[in-house]
Amino acid sequence: MKLVCNQSDLSTHLSLVSRAVPSRPTHPVLANVLLQADVSTQRVSLTAFDLSLGIRTSFPAEIETGGEITLPAKLLNDIVSRLPEGAIALEDEAEETLRATITSASGRYQVRGMGVEEFPELPVLEKSEAVNLSAEALIEGLKGSLFATSADETKQVLTGLHLTVQQDTLEFAATDGHRLAVVQTANESLESEELSQLEVTVPAKALRELERMLGIRQSTEAVTLNFDQGQIIFEWADQRLTSRTLEGQYPAYRQLIPHRFERQISLERRHLLNALERIAVLADQKNNIVKFSIDSVNQEVALSVDAQDVGSGRELMPAQASGESLEIAFNIKYLMDGLKALQSSEIQIQMNTATSPVILTPLGSLKMTYLIMPVQIRN
């Protein structure tokens, strides 16, 4: 194999695929990235696979001799990222040595690799039905929901995001048992006329990488989704992300969302978030709890934190409130996470009692529902 490519191209794409390299590989070759050079297409392909998440990407290069080799991902990335900008040459020596030489304007490096025959192949789905998804809709839905997935591996199905693909909409749902984020986006790229509803739960780790990759390229083209036999594949342009799916029944989250409310308030989102960020300094010292005192008579909301032996804080802001006055408390982190994701100038908070689910929705923007359970106030 012998090729010349741009340092920034190789460095960028190495950084992308390296996210699928396991920190503790079960087999030595999994710590490597598979590098393939194709003379006919004049493109270099990079692949990393931790047996759950796989990422493949490619970029143009001047390829004199084709070939393939696996090289240590971290070492290669560390070397290439530090090389000066401009052309670099990459050449592997005789097959029995499995060693690659990287030459730039500043110097020359040799890296020992491993044979490609040990590197696992990315899954290929032959019988699945391909569905086109809007990249913009995917990014929008992932931004508004991924934060609510669980980090608790004992509740494995909750560590994933539940994706529902319908004829003209995508629905993203994530919950960790204490809160629930649901986003619906229009899917203008869907072309299938007789698509039956598709539902799948995908690990949050894989979807964070998908969001990141789509965001870097700012892709506006369609993303092709293939799903079958416990695997899901997203493909677009010159990139591919594959992931196992999560088994188990995802919670019937739609049944958790109340449809009638006795009280509701409208607030300026940024004003509320700023106040919470200030008062969180005290909340962090105690139990991360903030109390809302909703005053329907004076049309205002007071936020308060009482951190015993440390101090207390109080913020007051105007609000459009309907229904009777109420005192209710929340985990301040959960509340702030939701407000950051809502992305609208005004939000509406709907509730019934101090112990029943509370719903936050943006006014006049993305169709998003954020459910958060209040914290019981102990007097």
Condensed to tens digits (0 to 9), the pLDDT of residues 136-192 reads: 999 999 999 999 999 998 899 999 999 999 878 899 999 999 999 999 998 876 555
Q: Would you give the end-to-end CA distance of the chain in angstroms?
A: 73
Nearest Cα to Cα of residue 202 among 259, 252, 145, 253: 145
Structural domains counted in the chain: 3
With a CB cutoff of 8 Å and minimum separation 6, the contacts of 271 are 317
Handedness of CA 72, 76, 77, 79 (dihedral sign): positive
For residues 115 and 32, is the Cβ–Cβ distance under 8 A? no
Judge whether 125 lies within some domain: no
Pair (235, 141) in one structural domain: yes
Strand partners, 111: 100
Residue 362 pLDDT > 80: yes
Which of 131-135, 158-162, 232-236, 275-279 has the least mean pLDDT?
131-135
- Dump pLDDT digits (tens) for 99-114: 999 999 999 999 999 9
Residues 224 and 291 in one domain: no
Q: pLDDT higher for 219 or 175? A: 175
Q: Is 257 helix (H, G, I), strand (E, B) or coil?
A: coil
> How far apart are alpha carbons 109 and 42 in whole angstroms?
23
pLDDT in tens, 278-329: 999 998 777 899 999 999 999 999 999 988 888 899 999 999 999 999 999 9
d(C-alpha 56, C-alpha 142), whole Å:
21
Range of the domain at 268: 257-372
Task: Round to whole Å and give the CA distance between 344 and 364.
Answer: 7
| Contact call for residues 15 and 77 (beta carbons, < 8 A) | yes
Last residue of a domain, one of 254, 276, 304: 254
Distance CA 136, CA 364 (A): 18
DSSP 260: -
* Domain co-membership, 313 together with 270: yes
Q: What is the CATH number of the domain that holds 150?
A: 3.10.150.10
Instruction: Decide which of 118, 152, 168 is a domain's last residue.
Output: 118
Residue 379 lies inside a defined structural domain of this protein:
no
Both 303 and 355 in one domain: the answer is: yes
How far apart (Å, rounded) are the C-alpha atoms in residues 290 and 327? 11
Place of tokens 């669980």: 150
**57 and 164 share a domain?**
no
